[in-house]
Amino acid sequence: MKELLAGIDVVDDPDVLEGLSHDDAEWAPYGKALAAVRPRTTEDVRRVVAACAERKVPIVPRGAGTGLSGGANAVDGAMILDLSKMNRIVGIDAENLTVTVQPGVVNNDLKAAVAEHGLWYPPDPASAPWSTIGGNVSTNAGGLCCLKYGVTRDYVLGLEAVVGGPAGAYGTVVRLGRRTTKGVSGYDLAGLFTGSEGTFGVITEITLRLRPARREAPRTVVGAFGSVVAAGEAVAAITRAGLLPAALELLDRTCLEAVENWKHLGLESDAAALLLAQLDLPGAAGDEEATAVAEVFRAAGALWAEQSTDEIEAEALFAARRLAYPALERLGPVLTEDVCVPRSRVPDMLSAIEQIAARHGTTIATIAHAGDGNLHPLILAPAGDEGARRAAQAAFEEMLGAAIAMGGTVTGEHGVGLLKRAGMRQELDPGVLAMQVAVKQTLDPLNLFNPGKVIG
Amino acid sequence: MKELLAGIDVVDDPDVLEGLSHDDAEWAPYGKALAAVRPRTTEDVRRVVAACAERKVPIVPRGAGTGLSGGANAVDGAMILDLSKMNRIVGIDAENLTVTVQPGVVNNDLKAAVAEHGLWYPPDPASAPWSTIGGNVSTNAGGLCCLKYGVTRDYVLGLEAVVGGPAGAYGTVVRLGRRTTKGVSGYDLAGLFTGSEGTFGVITEITLRLRPARREAPRTVVGAFGSVVAAGEAVAAITRAGLLPAALELLDRTCLEAVENWKHLGLESDAAALLLAQLDLPGAAGDEEATAVAEVFRAAGALWAEQSTDEIEAEALFAARRLAYPALERLGPVLTEDVCVPRSRVPDMLSAIEQIAARHGTTIATIAHAGDGNLHPLILAPAGDEGARRAAQAAFEEMLGAAIAMGGTVTGEHGVGLLKRAGMRQELDPGVLAMQVAVKQTLDPLNLFNPGKVIG
């Protein structure tokens, strides 16, 4: 193998390899990898895939490892493809509102680079300071502003990928999708690869759609509520009122306290839950939108609701939202839920979460892209406490069932990976699962690309 | 067969059957169908598919037959599934901004129904008064406002379909996708079915995302240009200026005259081309946007450019845009092109079209979703003139080559159907074509669903 990989960085230090063998998902199992490589070009990836196929070595691609479902976890004997060195912005095409990047470019680095051209890449998972575009595409990452601006899928125009199977020998490079804004020439394979968690091939280049930058800073409206369920009712009321914020986030008291104790941002945490709305209509329409949102919050029973006039304060609140996950992780292992329910069921789901927490005696902190119905209950379990761990696991599974019963899904944006495989089997009907398996077998007949993930 | 289909409307009148055996694509061949059925329920479709599979009868689904690529054309011995009677709006869920419909619902009927709830379904192909949502989903239809609001694909959340192959026997009903705004539970099969032109199965129900209705009428800015290429330069300048109209349409003089001679809307047609921009930012921001667009038009060399202050006039202009195709069809057979190029190449493509028309001595009228780079050169050929027909065909193929050479695609929104199969083979690399064929064979191993279309 080594000579086949000459000139490519190979990692075999056991500690480094161990670190590269899993993502950020607590409790998702991972195996013992053979080695890791750090390709820098598509040609490097092509050679690695061809060499692995020759020896039937499974290939596990990864970016920054910020995933929360175990999608980047190694299987025994796998070659890990660490794509973080493939971090070149290949080209920004301001005339056509597109950017082409290697998969290892960090989301926020991409945002910053295109901002210099007056352009904006909206998808903003909370991991944006660390996570890579390749990982974002592989999981079809969401984020805060997808309420108004859509998810990663809505921005992927074209992909280059190293594949095997019908396209040719393992190690064949293909270009899927297009560079134009529209196009229906053949089946939408770029869309199919988006969210496929590396199970069809290795993505080596991505062309993304961009938008013109927003001309003014968005407005922020904060509402404080006496219970998380009351906050959920306000979310449903926002939709009913025909309002479309750029983001509508929920943070409960446990999350706020965890962030405040860590970062001392000066956040008050007397309320049971805060809703943060970001409004970005320009000019006077934006002011009207902000006023309307605050009014809906008040009418829905907010303790208080007001437009933040202080940009630093507004930024601190959204920073708190983004920092909630790492802040809670400091307190011990966190099992992250990612259910998504129809918006009208957000209050019901929040209520179900409280009941499940009570029933299992677990602490569950909740952050949510509430406007999308996408909730992230974070189940806390002290390290080493086996009983707490079992209770957390039971609560986790029960929340999946509750979401499905409400017409929801077990994963809104984190992906199936390893942690949601059982949930997915609960959610999808057997015919659909069989179609998924068949498509995987067709595009990866040797089952070498990230085996065991999604439909494994 | 007849007893298997008891209770389902069967059409065997040869004239009616002939009319149901093709869509609106000139010159696309069609075969002699066995019969047509008009199912009213998913169960009807299930029975038809099962009965056809038993006898290996190919199944050709169709909606209103407004397609322009031959995607709904019969093959010999086919059973035509006319879904136009499955036109029930199953449910409007205003709380969750979704609507669920049967496939035969007409686009504009859907728009009108959701408008009563203060909601908006943006995709607006020019065929919206006649074309069905099932057809729109099957071709991933675009339209005028996809520049800002995306194509049909961006609105499809979930599908019910009658399939065969891995899911079970032909006639198995599956639910793909979801009802929530986000979701990544398994591969995106609903996305894969969208734009697959009925080649994977028959779509029997569709859940679509909606948006809150716009609160005020959009503004219209009209620019008149001395040449179509000059109009194309103005389109590129709009993007460079960071402006994002809801629609940005081009009509050349031939189109304007054809509409005016037919409908007498009072359109002036002294300019070589008009650009119509629709701007929908609310309030003062919308006025500023309209002013900025008019200024860009003037700076790009418009003969004149102004905001239409007369709503009836503005409506007439967009009506002219929508009527251009039928107006030209009155003059004789029209071969419709649907290339899409990067926006910056719109002037080059318009120039190439003029050169191709001159070279082949054909008349080509052009309408375009110019802001998207999606051009519809309409090649006119007098009925019965075989030489003109050959010239038109040659011009058609040459335009596909020109679009591909500019980094474009052979079909922006009409679909591959029969007319773009050769163009698609030119556009996509052999590996990608092989993947497409493999996916089709996997999901439809008997090749019963709309055989010969897309990858045929």
Which DSSP category does B413 fall into?
S
CB contact under 8 A, B431 and A167: yes
Per-residue pLDDT at B321: 86
Q: pLDDT (tens digit, 9 = 90+) per residue, B283-338?
A: 999 999 999 999 999 999 999 999 987 888 888 888 888 888 889 988 888 999 99
Q: Mean of the pLDDT values across residues A253-270?
A: 85
- From chain A residues 337-366, the ones with a CB under 8 A of any chain B CB are 340-344
Q: Is the dihedral of CA B70, B455, A152, A395 positive or negative?
A: positive
CB contact under 8 A, B242 and A118: yes
What is the spatial distance between Cα A37 and Cα A54, in angstroms, rounded to a whole number?
16
Task: Give the 3-state secondary structure of residue A167.
Answer: helix
**A248 strand-pairing partners:** A277
Per-residue pLDDT at B200: 98
Q: What are phi and psi of B185, to 5 degrees?
A: -85, 90
* Nearest to B447, CA basis, from B177, B200, B243: B200
Q: CATH 3.50.30.40: does it fit domain B219-405?
A: no
What is the spatial distance between Cα B313 and Cα B188, in angstroms, rounded to a whole number?
43
Within 13 Å of residue A160, how many CA atoms lie on the same side as its CB? 17
Q: Are B95 and B106 in contact (CB under 8 A)?
A: no
Q: CATH 3.30.43.10: does it fit domain A2-84?
A: yes
**Rg, Å, chain B Cα set:** 22
Quote the mean pLDDT of chain A: 95
CB contact under 8 A, A179 and B407: yes
CB contact under 8 A, B192 and A191: yes
Q: Mean of the pLDDT values across residues A177-200?
A: 97
Q: What are phi and psi of B289, to 5 degrees?
A: -60, -45
CB atoms within 10 A of CB B444: 22
Please give the torsion angle defined by the CA atoms of residues A298, A299, A302 and A306, in that order, rounded to the nearest 10 degrees: -10
* Neighbour-count burial of B1, counting CB atoms closer than 10 A to its CB (0-12 exposed, 13-18 middle, 19+ buried): middle
Cα B170 to Cα A187, A229, B48, B51, distances in angstroms: 21, 45, 10, 9
The first and second tokens of residue B407, run together, are: 């980094």
Q: Are A178 and A185 in contact (CB under 8 A)?
A: yes
CB atoms within 10 A of CB B226: 14
Strand spans (E) along A149-240 = 156-163, 172-177, 202-209, 211-212, 219-225
* Neighbour-count burial of A76, counting CB atoms closer than 10 A to its CB (0-12 exposed, 13-18 middle, 19+ buried): exposed
What is the spatial distance between Cα A41 and Cα A39, in angstroms, rounded to a whole number?
6
Does B442 lie at the interface with A, CB-CB under 8 angstroms? yes
Q: CATH 3.30.70.2190: does it fit domain A216-323?
A: yes
> How close, in Å, is residue A153 to chain B by CA atoms?
9
Single-letter code of the amino acid located at A198: G
**Least CA distance to A163: which residue of chain B?**
B431
CB contact under 8 A, A140 and B184: yes
How many Cβ contacts (< 8 angstroms) between chains A and B?
298
Q: Mean of the pLDDT values across residues A239-244?
A: 92
Q: Are B448 and B57 in contact (CB under 8 A)?
A: yes
Chain B residues with CB under 8 Å of A198 CB are none
The first and second tokens of residue A44, run together, are: 């490097």
Per-residue pLDDT at A268: 72
Share of chain A above pLDDT 90, in %: 88
Which DSSP category does B132 fall into?
B
What is the spatial distance between Cα A176 and Cα A238, in angstroms, rounded to a whole number?
39
Does A237 lie at the interface with B, CB-CB under 8 angstroms? no
What's the pLDDT band for A125 if we cut at 50, 70, 90? very high
DSSP A281-320: --HHHHHHHHHHHHHHHHHTT-SEEEEE--HHHHHHHHHH
Chain B residues with CB under 8 Å of A182 CB are 142, 146, 151, 340, 369, 372-374, 409, 412-413
- A392, pLDDT greater than 80: yes
SS (H, E, C) B88-129: CEEEEEHHHCEEEECCCCEHHHHHHHHHCCCEECCCCCCCCC
Q: pLDDT (tens digit, 9 = 90+) per residue, B24-80?
A: 998 899 999 999 999 999 999 999 999 999 999 999 999 999 999 999 999 999 999
What is the spatial distance between Cα B418 and Cα B420, in angstroms, rounded to a whole number?
6
Residue carrying structure tokens 């051009």 = B375
CA angle, B186 then B187 then B188, to 5°? 120
Does A125 lie at the interface with B, CB-CB under 8 angstroms? no
What's the pLDDT band for A269 if we cut at 50, 70, 90? low
What's the pLDDT band for B228 if we cut at 50, 70, 90? very high
Within 13 Å of residue A179, how many CA atoms lie on the same side as its CB? 26
Which DSSP category does B166 fall into?
G
Per-residue pLDDT at A244: 94
Which of B93, B116, B145, B180 to mutate: most A Cβ within 10 Å?
B180
Residue carrying structure tokens 């605050």 = A294
B311 or B135, greater pLDDT = B135
Q: Mean of the pLDDT values across residues B199-209?
A: 98
Q: Are A380 and A332 in contact (CB under 8 A)?
A: yes
CA angle, B308 then B312 then B315, to 5°? 80
What is the spatial distance between Cα A287 and Cα A353, in angstroms, rounded to a whole number?
35
**A349 strand-pairing partners:** none
Does B303 lie at the interface with A, CB-CB under 8 angstroms? no
**B202 strand-pairing partners:** B162
What's the pLDDT band for B376 if we cut at 50, 70, 90? very high
Per-residue pLDDT at A267: 77
- A13, pLDDT greater than 90: yes
> How close, in Å, is residue B379 to chain A by CA atoms?
21
CB contact under 8 A, A281 and B282: yes
Domain segments of chain B as ranges: 2-84, 86-212, 219-405
Does A161 lie at the interface with B, CB-CB under 8 angstroms? no
Q: pLDDT (tens digit, 9 = 90+) per residue, B242-255?
A: 999 999 999 999 99
* Nearest to A247, CA basis, from A139, A123, A108, A66: A123
Which DSSP category does A446 fall into?
T
> How close, in Å, is residue B251 to chain A by CA atoms?
19
Q: Are A346 and A359 in contact (CB under 8 A)?
A: no
What's the pLDDT band for A61 if we cut at 50, 70, 90? very high
Q: Are A328 and A258 in contact (CB under 8 A)?
A: yes
Per-residue pLDDT at B269: 67
Does B202 lie at the interface with A, CB-CB under 8 angstroms? no
CB atoms within 10 A of CB A151: 27
Q: Which spans in A385-429 are helix H? A: 386-405, 421-427
- Written out in words, the top-level CATH class of the domain with range B86-212 is alpha beta
**Rg, Å, chain A Cα set:** 22
Q: Mean of the pLDDT values across residues A241-265?
A: 92
* Nearest to A38, CA basis, from A113, A91, A102, A92: A102
Of A176, A179, A437, the CB nearest to B432: A176
- A103, pLDDT greater than 80: yes
Q: Mean of the pLDDT values across residues B182-202?
A: 98
User: C-alpha B118: how far from its chain's center?
Assistant: 25
Per-residue pLDDT at B264: 85
The first and second tokens of residue A86, run together, are: 């493939």
Q: pLDDT (tens digit, 9 = 90+) per residue, B261-288?
A: 998 877 776 899 999 999 999 999 999 9
Quote the mean pLDDT of chain B: 95
Please give the torsion angle defined by the CA atoms of residues B121, B129, B177 and A230, in that order, rounded to the nearest 10 degrees: 20
CB contact under 8 A, A96 and B412: no
Per-residue pLDDT at A3: 78
CB contact under 8 A, A284 and B285: yes
Level-2 CATH architecture, domain A332-443: 2-Layer Sandwich (3.30)
**B252 strand-pairing partners:** B273
Task: Give the 3-state secondary structure of residue A448.
Answer: coil
User: Which strand (E) or helix (H) includes residue A336?
Assistant: strand A334-336
Q: Are A362 and A391 in contact (CB under 8 A)?
A: yes
User: Which strand (E) or helix (H) includes residue B318?
Assistant: helix B311-329
CB contact under 8 A, B342 and A93: yes
Per-residue pLDDT at A317: 84
Q: Are A68 and A28 in contact (CB under 8 A)?
A: no
Q: Are B193 and B200 in contact (CB under 8 A)?
A: yes
**B367 strand-pairing partners:** B251, B376
> How close, in Å, is residue B268 to chain A by CA atoms?
31
